[in-house]
Amino acid sequence: MSGPRVALLTYSTKARGGVVATLCLAEALARAGCQVDVWTLARGGDAGFFRPVDPAVTVRAVPFPDRPGETVGQRVLRSIEVLGAAFQAAGPGYDVVHAQDCISANAVPDCVRTVHHLDQFTTPELVACHERALRRPYAHVCVSAAVAAELAAGWGIQAVVIPNGVEADRCAAAAGPGQAAAAARAAWRARIGGRYVLAVGGIEPRKGTLDLVEAMARLRAADGGPALVIGGGETLFDYRDYRARVLARAAELGVEPTLLGPVPHDELPALVAAADAFAFPSVREGFGLAAMEALAAGVPVVVRDLPVLREVFAGAVRFAAGPAELAAELAAALAAPDPARRAAGVALAARHGWDAAAAAHLRLYERLIAMHAHQWTGDRP
């Protein structure tokens, strides 16, 4: 290994967007010659990540048993304490320590921080955690210029913009003409019972699930419409009240979504590729990795009309501001193929490779290491 020794830290082993990005970046950095360790909390007895990790990457999973009755705030503080203590005890001596979320950025000192998106919390522990995780790191990465601008305007912090990558080949293969790929798509359609609109990320306020339910009610009222399928949902936070409200409203409207929960890693590409449309009505995002994966599979995508999503997806997706527009744009996407938009989406996803993202990170790491070397020797950076 000729590159620097890098620690990437994340808060979970579950298939959340930031965790997916952490693993893909780690593997790409290892391909580029870095020695990479990924540190994570292994919650609830997890033995490892939601998918196999390239053996070139060392996984350091810190046990984090559940505690019944623990509040969200208490769980966040314990997460920081447990991850930080394990990392400190290892005395690893990395060239770069790179935190991928606010929990890991609180757990370790002297780190680089990727700000995937900016949150708005009301729980005091989370508010303090979020603020410290922005103020303490000595360097910052944002996955889009829109988030970098928000960070600069709100906190006066200048970040390097490095977009996420996407496993475009994996997603495209699921949409291919091969017999195995076709059979996997057919199996999902049979399981769902026909055509469907897919959303990934579970039921939570940030994902705009309530608006999606309202939109699907309008869509289904027009012509019966496709089913709504929601995949994913493992998260640190407690959204039971919001989930109950969404499901109650869905029952009132007769939408009856199919809730898959976490989908096995090997089965997810076929689920995406078999969808008739992909809905991404998030009210806050940093990049939109799940939507990019759908584009790689050639699936029509409708997203919330946000500045960050305009930046990332212009020309490749349909934009909607609320439930009525979301229903209209989904209807248009379902009505007839749009070859130009599909081609633009496939090409966009293909341009976002993880090796390119890793190369940009490596250039940043090398600059930061050089600056630290000057500081350690007393020279001016």
Note the pLDDT tens digit of each residue in 168-183.
999 999 999 999 999 9
Average pLDDT over the chain reads 92
- CA 334 to each of CA 220, 329, 331, 373, 376: distance values in angstroms, whole numbers, following the listed order: 12, 9, 5, 56, 60
Beta strand residue intervals within 249-369, DSSP E = 258-261, 277-280, 301-304, 318-320
Counting residues of the chain whose pLDDT is more than 90, the rounded percentage is 80
What mean pLDDT is predicted for residues 369-376? 67
**CB–CB of 349/168 below 8 Å?**
yes
- 63 forms beta bridges with 42
CA distance linking residue 313 with residue 335, whole number of Å: 21
Residues in Cβ contact with 345 at an 8 Å cutoff, skipping those fewer than 6 apart: 295, 296, 298, 301, 316, 317
Look at 24-33, 55-64, 189-198, 230-239 and tell me which has the smallest mean pLDDT. Answer: 230-239
User: Burial letters for 222-235: b for 16+ Cβ neighbours within 10 Å, e otherwise?
Assistant: eeebbbbbbbbbbe
Cα dihedral value 28, 33, 39, 45, nearest 10: 70
Per-residue model confidence (pLDDT) at position 125: 81
What mean pLDDT is predicted for residues 219-233? 84
378 pLDDT tier (thresholds 50, 70, 90): very low
Look at 20-24, 92-96, 209-213, 247-251 and tell me which has the smallest mean pLDDT. Answer: 92-96
Answer CATH for 168-351 from 3.40.50.2000, 1.10.10.10, 3.60.15.10, 3.30.930.10: 3.40.50.2000
Per-residue model confidence (pLDDT) at position 275: 98
Single-letter residue type at 171: C
pLDDT at 34 over 80: yes
Per-residue model confidence (pLDDT) at position 344: 98
Nearest Cα neighbor of 97 from 369, 304, 373 is 369
Per-residue model confidence (pLDDT) at position 381: 34
**CB–CB of 92/7 below 8 Å?**
yes
Q: Where in the chain is the domain with CATH 3.40.50.2000?
A: 5-165+354-377, 168-351
- DSSP assigned state of 263: P
Please give the model's pTM, rounded to 2 decimal places.
Answer: 0.93
Per-residue model confidence (pLDDT) at position 264: 94
Architecture of domain 5-165+354-377: 3-Layer(aba) Sandwich (3.40)
Q: For residue 49, give both structure tokens.
A: 């990540």
- DSSP assigned state of 217: H
Higher-scoring residue by pLDDT: 317, 2: 317
